[in-house]
A and B are shown apart, each in its own frame.
Chain A
Amino acid sequence: DIVMTQSPDSLAVSLGERATINCKSSQSVLYSSNNKNYLAWYQQKPGQPPKLLIYWASTRESGVPDRFSGSGSGTDFTLTISSLQAEDVAVYYCQHYYSTPLSFGQGTKLEIK
């Protein structure tokens, strides 16, 4: 089974500053036949279901602000919020969908400094 590990567990960033969350998979989630990384990022606010932000490691979901970006390949991935807004306070999860069982990282709680 692929284990997803996020860092840090929590993060406090000032408004307008950059926030960076890392995700590492225990094995590569890059599928060689199509050169796609089977990695997604979700945002979850209190009392709400997760919301898809990024898929294929770097493709932004429709309607997601362009301050959110994803990067990385193989086993190491990053979610970056270029200029933190108050509404970005949430818990962020990475997820691989490379093989069964799919799995999520433990989550990173993002707060305002």
Chain B
Amino acid sequence: EVQLVESGGGLVQPGGSLRLSCAASGFTFSSYAMHWVRQAPGKGLEYVSAISSDGVTTYYANSVKGRFTISRDHSKNMLYLQMGSLRTEDMAVYYCAREKSANTDDAFDIWGQGTMVTVSS
């Protein structure tokens, strides 16, 4: 079964750090670009970060640039999001998602269940 499972969320103080993980299974992880999308409580979807299939190219939304780092480990089929200098506005459910096609820009066909990040003192 094709699956993504996030972990690593939790409660962190403003200014703190957290690393989210996304475990991929059921497909050739190294062939697909991967993304992080977040959703603040009661709000819509916000695109956060992306990484190419080979890990060379990354993208960050302006709201997280310089504070978050996306990475991947093909030996472990894992996607990561290292989050630093966390702010209250970063509080959200964080989803990892896979592009539908391995070879071209495409929609997101597989999503994890999400992991909640709470930023509060």
Q: Give chain A's interface residues, CB within 8 Å of chain B.
A: 38, 40, 42, 44, 48-52, 55-56, 61, 91, 93, 95, 97-98, 100-107
How big is chain B's contact interface, by range? Answer: 20 to 34
12 CB-based A-B contacts, threshold 8 Å? A40-B108, A42-B108, A49-B95, A51-B111, A61-B109, A95-B108, A97-B107, A101-B59, A102-B47, A102-B50, A103-B47, A106-B44
Closest 7 CB pairs of A and B: A40-B107, A49-B111, A55-B107, A104-B45, A107-B44, A52-B109, A100-B59
- Whether B71 sits at the interface, judged by CB under 8 Å, is no
Residues of B within 8 A of A42 (CB): 45, 108
Residues of B within 8 A of A52 (CB): 100, 107-109
CB < 8 Å: which of B37, B45, B107, B112 contacts A107? B45
**Chain B residues whose CB sits within 8 angstroms of the CB of A55 once the complex forms:** 100, 106-107, 109
A106 to B43, CA, bound (A): 8
Please measure, in the bound complex, the distance between the C-alpha atom of A44 and the C-alpha atom of B106, giving whole angstroms: 19
